[in-house]
Every structure is written in C-alpha cells, then in structure tokens.
Structure 1
Amino acid sequence: MSEPFYITTAISYPNGRPHIGHAYEAIAADAIARFQRLRGRDVFFLTGTDEHGLKMAQAARDRGVEPAALAEEMSSYFREMDDRLNISFDRFIRTTESGHHKASQAIWQAMVDAGDIYLGRYEGWYSVRDEAYYDEKELVTAGSGERLSPQGTLVEWTVEESWFFRLSAYQDRLLDHYRAHPDFIRPESRRNEVMRFVEGGLSDLSVSRTSFDWGVKVPDSPDHVMYVWVDALTNYITGVGYPGDTEAWRKYWPADLHVIGKDIIRFHTVYWPAFLMSAGLPLPKQVFGHGFVLHRGEKMSKSLGNVVDPNDLIAAFGVDPLRYFLLREVTFGQDGGYSAEAITTKVNADLSNSFGNLVQRTLSFISRNCDGVLPQGGKGSPTDAALLGQVRDALLEDMPGHFEALALSQGIEAWLKAVFACNQYIDAEAPWTLKKTDPDRMTAVLATLCAAIRDLAIAIQPVIPASAAAVLDLLGIPADERDYVALGDGDGYARVAAKGVAIASPSPIFPRLEMPAPG
C-alpha cells in the first residue's frame, strides 16, 4: 500500500476575484502534490473557499446581494482559476457546505468538553480586512493618526458578548511542540516569528460574534456565529471526513503539509494547533508560509489598483509558462517579483531556447532523417553513458531532494542543468555531421538524446504538466511509464523504441513568447 500524503492550500477568501497570489499558492501546492504522486505516494490535495465572516457580509451588502449569492458567484471564479491553471486538487471545499457546518460544530463541542470555551465580553481592536483581533501593543499609528494592525489594515474598537477560547492555557504546550518538532513551521524565519509571538504571552481568544449572522452557528447559542477562523481552519479536517471514523480520516489525518501565505501564519501555527490540542486531535506535520508575489516590486492591493487577474496572465503567456516562471523565479518561502518582461525573458531562455529547442531539433532531425521512427542501437560511446548518468543524477537525486525539502526553484535549477548538458552534448556530437560520416554513430547519439528527453519530460511534469505530457506523447511513452519509478528505469526508452514507434514532425512545444502589447 502506498504511503499517504495530505496537502492543502489555505482556502481562499472570496470577497473579490482571485489575484496572482492565489494562483501562486495553488500552483506551488499543485507542483508538490504532483511530485509526490509521481513518487508513488497516495496523495490527497485539498483546496477551496472560505466563505463566512464579516468581510463577506459587508461585501455582499455593498453589492446589494445576499452573502450566499456572493459566495456562490465568487467561489466559482476560484474554481475556474484552478481548472485553468491545471490544479490537480482532489477536493474543492466550500465552508458553506452543510457537512462543514457539522464539522465546525463538532470541534467546537470538543473544545467545550475540554473546558476551554467560556462566555465573556469582548472589548478590543478588530480588523475587518484581516478578520483578526489585535492587542493594543501590536498596533501602529499612521501619519493620519489612524490605528492600524501590524499588516497595515484599519482596526476598529469592538464591544460585544463573545465566547472565548482559553488560548492562554496553551502557551507552554505550543512552545514545547515547536521545540520538539522544529520543522512544524517553515521556513525558519516564520518559525522564529511565531516563537517570539508566543513567548510574548497569549491572551484568550474571542471566538464568536453577535454583530452579524453570516457564519456557522455556535451550538446552543443561536445568537452567536463562530469567529471565521475557527470555521475556516476546520476545513482541513472536514475535507477528510471529520467528525467520524472514516477511511479518509484514518488514512490522511494528520495533514502532511499546509501551504499558506506568510500573512496568515499566526492563525495556522498558534490558533489551529491550540484548537486541535483542545479537541484531542493530532496536529498537522508541517505548515509552510510562502512569501508574496510582487508586481514590479509592489505588493498587490485593491486600494492601490494594481491587482492582476491570473486569467490575464494565462491569456498573455499560457498556463505552463506562467507555472514555470513562478516556480522557477520565486524562491519558495520568500517574496518574489514578476513583470511581463521577466516572464517573457525567462520562459524564452529556459523553455523555448533550451528545453524546447532540444526537443524540437532532436525530433525534427529524426523525422527527416530516420524515416520518422525512434532510433535504437547504434555505435555507443562513453560520452553517451556519461550524459545519461549526469541526467539521471540530476533527476533522480538532486531534483527530488530539493523538491522533498520544498526548495522548488532549486529543484528546477537542477533539472535545467541537465537540459544544458543535453544541449552541449548535441552540439558536440553534431548528428547532422554524423549523418554523412558515421550514420551508425548518429543513431546512437539520437537514441541517447531521446532517452534523456524522456527522462527530462517525466521529471518536470509537476511544474509544466501539459507541456511535459505533450513531449512524452511525441516519444510514444505509455501513460503508465511516466512516474518516477519509470524515470529510474534505464531501459525504459529502449523498450519503447524497440516497438518501432513512429513520430510525426513536431510542432514547437514552447513557441517563443512575444512581449504583450502595453495596456
């Protein structure tokens, strides 16, 4: 039985349409999920939308619609984005689902049974935009005199009856967990940030609201709805069958990895584990807080008017080029930037000029000079074995090692070095010259290149799945010989070639990008 691997994104808050930050998180999580599947893991990949809370209620009111109607419309845009980006999720969860309400009420009751929920009165600062409470000591004062959260969002003084969670009781247990499991929070900069916050002392947390009713009802308190983060975080266990002793629950929980933005690290590494501890449930194994995607050095925000729709980028550059650029150029865990010029330059250099050109000139040459049949045999040379050894070292050791460590851009760099090695080999061996001087040697060179291209295409599937599949289709590689077990099979290409696979003259897999017209 294959080993389970449960990965989630943070579910997106759909008070507006998706932006490039949502796309980046989905793409990164998808690459990790695809990589683990190719390694033989039994992957369950959860994403979705977080549809409750004051911010949604206010957005609906501003548009003159009911919150449920807004949630239905906006959630569809996130689902559409995932489909367009080729995100291989296993479940797209919505927090308005009745099963999720049941799960949220179940974990609430478990926290009540643990003695960690009590009724009180909340007086303090609240950011509607962040859906977060802040202590006075965390606030900053803007030049205009307005009080702002650490995220730079407006806060308002809120007074209402509220149920509270005894977060203060979990300070030591949380710190003990962080120390016992140093990889629970990654990267290290996020871990240090959370450690400092918890070491500074935890206050009990207001976990219900009475000033609006768009949310999950608190059990036995019909005038209260749950604080949106209690509801939202619970989605990760709803998605695998909580409450109940289901097969999915037994197989996949605790989650292996939550992929989230760094701005919500506190909710996932302080509140969420404390809720789970209180409810007597296992904690996720790791939370990874990635950075922001900046447009020309600026963080995108609706107020600045610089939010970019992922659909526009897909239309301009294509899905796989966009996926490749974001995963190659944005170091996972750090902020990274993009621009139309940067995407065009990087994709043309790496995919069009390097990998695409390698595939195109190799297969076009075979189509013209080998009766369109995959080559096999020929006069071998130590340089052939050296190239294939270099490629396999990069793809079976370096690249997967980096991907396991969530160093995605470094993994792609290892793959790219193997591409460069193949291009150096074809230039040095010059099969177009061998055609006249040593046809038997030409056959061996072309067979070596095809074997290497097969391996390169298998390995890069998590990053550019559709394009990699197109290359493997050209080579006639069977669908059941495209995982990492097949990648380690040194005879995989030879068996396919022995069938006399015919290939058509290929069209460019990665046509060169042109700079989009301004505006």
Structure 2
Amino acid sequence: MMNLSRYFVTTPIFYVNAAPHIGHVYSAVLADALHRWHKLKHPADATVFSTGTDEHGLKIQQAAAASNQSPGDFCAANRDKFQQAFRAANIEYTHFVSTSATAHRERVQHAWRCLQERGLLRKGVYAGWYCTSDETFLTESQLRPHTFSDGSSGFVSIESGHRVHWMEEDNYLFPLAQFQDDLKKWIATGPITPPLFNGIVEQWLQERQLPELSVSRSSARLKWGIDVPDDPQQKIYVWLDALLNYLTVIGYPGDQQRWRAFWPADVQVIGKDILKFHAIYWPAFLLALGLQPPRRILCHSHWLVDHQKMSKSLGNVVDPNDCLRRFTVDGFRYFLLREGVPHSDNNYSEEKVISYLNTELANTLGNLLNRCTSTSVNRKQTFPAPPPDAALTDADRTLLTDIHALPQTVAEHFEAFHIYKAIDAVMHTLREVNAYVQDTAPWTLAKSGVEGDQDRLEVMLFVALEALRVAGVLLGPVTPGLGETVLGKLGCGGTRLEVDGGGCGLVGGRGR
C-alpha cells in the first residue's frame, strides 16, 4: 500500500557520454507527470522526484579522452546539457544526482562496507566477455559473431549490437544466486509494469542459476570511478555505483528516520534496455543491504523515428531541445505522453506531432475555450452558476455526468500508468462537448430575443465551461503551462482535485 504521507518517484540517472535525446526526455516527462499527478491528489504530501547523471565508467573515461577534456570537465559540460533540457521541458524534479559528487561517493563506499561486513563480497579472478559500451559482462548465449569494418572478426551483444572483448582480471564478486529465491518471490507479486516486462524477468530468474556478479574493475584499466574502500587497486562497478543513487539521493545512510520514510520508492521509471540492471541487480543489492525492493518499476519501450531506430549514422537522432522550441513545451510534452505507450516501441514523426497539436490541442481544446469565453457568446465574461435540475435537458445531464465522472476515470488510468488513456479520456469528453456546443449554437442564442434563449445559453455555457475546468486540472500534469492558461482564462485557479473514500472529484475554483 502506498504511503500517503510520502511519495518517491525516480528516473534513471542518465549516462553523460552524449547529449540528451528524446528517450531521456520521455523518461523524465513521464516521471514528472506522475509526480505532478500525485501532488494534485495529495498536495500535503512530502515528495521526492529524483533524476540525475551517471558519470563514472570506462565509456566516460574514453569519451573524455577523445574530446581532450578531463573526465570531470567532460561530465560537468554534459550534465549541464541534461539540466538545461529538463528545465526547458518544465520538468520539476526535487533532487538531481551527480555520481561524481563527494557526498554520493562517500555514501556508495558506506554501502560497499556494509556488503563486505555481511560477507557478501569476495575477491577472485573473473573471466568473461565484456562490453564496454554496455558496461557489463555477457554470456556466450548473449553474443553473435560479427565482421567489423576493418575486416576483423569478433563478437557483439545480440541486444545492443556493441562489440565485446574477452577479459580476465581480479575483481570483487557478489553472489547473485544467494538472492534468487527472494527475487522470484518479489517478481511473483508483479512489481514491474507493463506485465510483459515482469514476465521477461520472471523467465530470466527461472531459466538458470544466476552467476556471480563482478562488482569492481581494476584501477589499472578504469581510472574514473569510485575507489573500493581500503583497496585503491579496484574501482566500484559503475552499475553498483549508479543504482545506489536511489538511496544516496534521499540521504542514505545518514538520518535513518528521514530516508527510511521514503524508501522503498513508489515508482522507478526506466527504459527497457536497463531492465536487467533494475529488476535483478538492484533488488538483489537492496536485499543484501537488508532493504526492500521498490514498490513498482515502470518500464517503457524505445522511441523510433519514422519507424527506424535512431542512430548518428542515419542522421535521424531527434534533438529534444529543437522539438521543445518548434512545438512548444506543452505541445511536445503532450505528444510524448499521448503517443508514448510503455508496452511497445513508439514512433516519432513530425507529421504526428503536428497532427496532435492541431487536431486535439488547437481544435478540440483551444477552439472550445475560445468559443465559450468570447465576448460575443459569454457577454458577462463569467462562469455561470450551476443551473437547477429543471433547466437541464437530457443532453445536459448526460454530458454533466460524463464530465463529473472524468476525474475518477483519469485517476484510474494514472494509477495504472496509462497516461495515454487518461489523455484520450479527456479528449473524448471534450469532443462530445464540442459537438454539443455546435448543436446548441450559442452564437445564435446570444443574439436571440426569444424568451428562454438567454437561460438556455447560460446552461450551455455552464456545461461547456465545466468541461474545460475539469480538463484544465486533469491535463495539468501532462501540459502544466496549458492547464494553468485554461484555468486562468476561466477564472478557476483555485480548482483542486479531492480524493474521498477511494473516489475523486473536483472542488472549488468556479470563478468570476
């Protein structure tokens, strides 16, 4: 059961070997919408929404050298690009983690000592196929032969396509298999959504015994990382370092009362390419430290561009900063959450973005707002009082019932992490209201001198403006700027979502 006095949502921390792309911004916007939704429902709660950058490892070391920068300077420059992109996308995180920060390093070293004291780390020779790009060892079943551009032969990862090298060195090893039964019990509760990904992890755990995991690297090879305590010849494995950010960001191991109030995390948003690390390694590390795994992991799929994988060689990498400038902040956020479905890869196309903005935001929402707040129709520039039941037609009642049921419908979709369905529900209702307004023809009623037409106009305005008020609140987590604009134009800035007895509805805020 979710702790209603505390809420903790995370994104992955993003690797700073390159500038942010659409997938990074999607993860952050997804987490931001969930965070904003929770604050809408429970404004008094203490919340943490963390994101950040993963700044250690051989990839960073090599990328910094290639750019003739120190690793620290290289990380700082790329960290700034992520922070700028997230600010541009109106992502209101509460905490930003940098794994090269002193506080994080010291807290990771504390966790290492805890694992060591529990007898869960041993030093031994580790041999296997290592993928530098993916920062992980792979089994032979995860490889395929490949001929490279220079004519040499070797192996690449089946999943990522990145080259692997055989490596043998002294490392510290962690006994994953010791926690396999506990991981099976945890995964049987269905903590990963969509269920497709929970099933994948369940299959991994059933297929074979988990191997020992190498959790350090030789300092002779990896110089940019966190030193293993009392053994400067070894650096802590970048994934152990990175995953621990979810604890270090809430103060682990300091004030236990504070950080334990937030752990376990309520939702951890990740991409499917890092599922293994978050669904097997991470809960195993937590169990080893005597802590619970996260309550939920929301795993989303990748973004394609015109149905092709993004790559620099194809020249089709989408720059999120360019999209935010061209399509507006709310417009691009709307597209990402409207088109993005966690269970399958999503497709970016400019035509689709423009279609959503024109058809739904401009026509369905924008035109309705403009029609019903224009001085030619709403001459008093007021939000009419709720009409008496006797003044309502069957069409009025049906629409008002749909409008007042919308907060609960949207809440159910958000709780199931189906934000695209929540958006569709709002737009479906607004389309119904547009048809209702078209049939009622308020521009004709406003000019009419026939008795009763002005009363009919007031009823219609109430129904339409009520729909816009509800939509403005419910779309707030998706398009925060647009939500404020709608409510401001209606004079309904005080509207809030109220949860009562498992249901929810809107209270207050009908304005001027």
Output the TM-score relative to the length of structure 1: 0.91
Q: Aligned letter for 1:254?
A: P
Q: Deviations over 1:79-105 (max 9, x none)?
A: 111100011111111111111112211
Deviates more, 1:443-452 or 1:349-358: 443-452
Q: Is the aligned partner of 1:222 residue 2:237?
A: no
Q: Aligned letter for 2:300?
A: H
Structure 1: how far apart are the matches of 2:424 and 2:380? 35
Q: Deviations over 1:96-147 (max 9, x none)?
A: 1111112211111111112110111222111111111101222112355430
Provide the residue aligned with 2:368 in structure 1: 358
Q: Aligned letter for 1:418?
A: T
Contact 2:497 2:505 in 1 (8 A): no
Shift of 1:348: 0.9
Distance 1:96-1:441 versus aligned 2 partners, 3 A rule: same
Q: Is the aligned partner of 1:429 residue 2:440?
A: yes
Contact 1:17 1:77 in 2 (8 A): yes
The count of residues paired between Structure 1 and Structure 2 equals: 491
Provide the residue aligned with 1:149 in structure 2: 157
Provide the residue aligned with 2:280 in structure 1: 270
Q: Aligned letter for 1:492?
A: G
Shift of 1:25: 0.7
Distance 1:419-1:484 versus aligned 2 partners, 3 A rule: farther
Structure 1: how far apart are the matches of 2:462 and 2:427? 20
Provide the residue aligned with 1:168 in structure 2: 177
Q: Per the alignment, in what secondary structure is the counterpart of residue 167 of structure 2? A: strand
Aligned mate of 2:16, from 14, 17, 38: 14
Contact 2:496 2:508 in 1 (8 A): no
Provide the residue aligned with 1:188 in structure 2: 195
Provide the residue aligned with 2:90 in structure 1: 86
Shift of 1:66: 0.5
Q: Over aligned residue pairs, what C-alpha RMSD do you find?
A: 1.9
Provide the residue aligned with 1:513 in structure 2: none
Alignment of 1:249-328 (within 5 A): 249-328=259-338
Distance 1:491-1:231 versus aligned 2 partners, 3 A rule: closer
Aligned mate of 1:212, from 213, 222, 225: 222
Structure 2: how far apart are the matches of 1:258 and 1:468? 26
Provide the residue aligned with 2:403 in structure 1: 391
Q: Is the aligned partner of 1:118 residue 2:127?
A: no
Distance 1:471-1:247 versus aligned 2 partners, 3 A rule: farther
Shift of 1:369: 4.7
Shift of 1:466: 0.4
Alignment of 1:380-419 (within 5 A): 380-382=391-393, 383-393=395-405, 395-419=406-430
Structure 2: how far apart are the matches of 1:44 and 1:392? 30
Q: Per the alignment, in what secondary structure is the counterpart of residue 402 of structure 1? A: helix
Structure 1: how far apart are the matches of 2:210 and 2:111? 21
Distance 1:247-1:301 versus aligned 2 partners, 3 A rule: farther
Contact 1:378 1:440 in 2 (8 A): no
Alignment of 1:341-356 (within 5 A): 341-356=351-366
Q: Aligned letter for 1:276?
A: L
Shift of 1:489: 5.9
Q: Aligned letter for 2:97?
A: I
Provide the residue aligned with 2:244 in structure 1: 234
Aligned mate of 2:31, from 7, 12, 29: 29
Shift of 1:2: 4.5
Q: Is the aligned partner of 1:374 residue 2:383?
A: yes
Shift of 1:227: 0.6
Q: Aligned letter for 1:388?
A: L
Contact 2:56 2:238 in 1 (8 A): yes
Structure 2: how far apart are the matches of 1:488 and 1:381? 24
Structure 1: how far apart are the matches of 2:488 and 2:506? 19
Provide the residue aligned with 1:334 in structure 2: 344
Deviates more, 1:255-264 or 1:314-323: 314-323
Provide the residue aligned with 1:455 in structure 2: 470
Structure 2: how far apart are the matches of 1:27 and 1:236? 18
Q: Is the aligned partner of 1:58 residue 2:67?
A: no
Provide the residue aligned with 1:470 in structure 2: 485
Distance 1:233-1:488 versus aligned 2 partners, 3 A rule: closer
Q: Deviations over 1:30-86 (max 9, x none)?
A: 111111111115431110100001100000000111000011010010011110001
- Percent identity, aligned pairs only? 37
Aligned mate of 2:461, from 446, 450, 467: 446
Contact 1:377 1:443 in 2 (8 A): no
Q: Aligned letter for 1:402?
A: H
Shift of 1:247: 4.2
Structure 2: how far apart are the matches of 1:87 and 1:139? 38
Q: Aligned letter for 1:186?
A: T
Structure 2: how far apart are the matches of 1:251 and 1:170? 25
Q: Aligned letter for 2:385?
A: Q
Structure 2: how far apart are the matches of 1:491 and 1:10? 35
Q: Per the alignment, in what secondary structure is the counterpart of residue 13 of structure 2? A: coil
Provide the residue aligned with 1:514 in structure 2: none
Alignment of 1:70-85 (within 5 A): 70-85=74-89
Q: Aligned letter for 1:389?
A: T
Contact 2:484 2:493 in 1 (8 A): no
Structure 1: how far apart are the matches of 2:431 and 2:257? 46
In structure 2, runs of 5+ residues without a counterpart are: none
Structure 2: how far apart are the matches of 1:317 and 1:74? 24
In structure 1, runs of 5+ residues without a counterpart are: 502-519
Distance 1:489-1:232 versus aligned 2 partners, 3 A rule: closer
Shift of 1:398: 1.5
Output the TM-score relative to the length of structure 2: 0.92
Q: Aligned letter for 1:390?
A: D
Q: Aligned letter for 2:470?
A: D
Q: Per the alignment, in what secondary structure is the counterpart of residue 129 of structure 1? A: coil
Distance 1:304-1:248 versus aligned 2 partners, 3 A rule: farther
Structure 2: how far apart are the matches of 1:155 and 1:375? 68
Structure 2: how far apart are the matches of 1:9 and 1:221? 32
Structure 2: how far apart are the matches of 1:299 and 1:202? 31
Structure 2: how far apart are the matches of 1:201 and 1:105? 28
Shift of 1:426: 0.8
Deviates more, 1:47-56 or 1:470-479: 470-479
Distance 1:87-1:247 versus aligned 2 partners, 3 A rule: farther
Aligned mate of 2:110, from 94, 106, 112: 106
Q: Aligned letter for 2:466?
A: A
Shift of 1:491: 6.4
Structure 1: how far apart are the matches of 2:121 and 2:505? 56
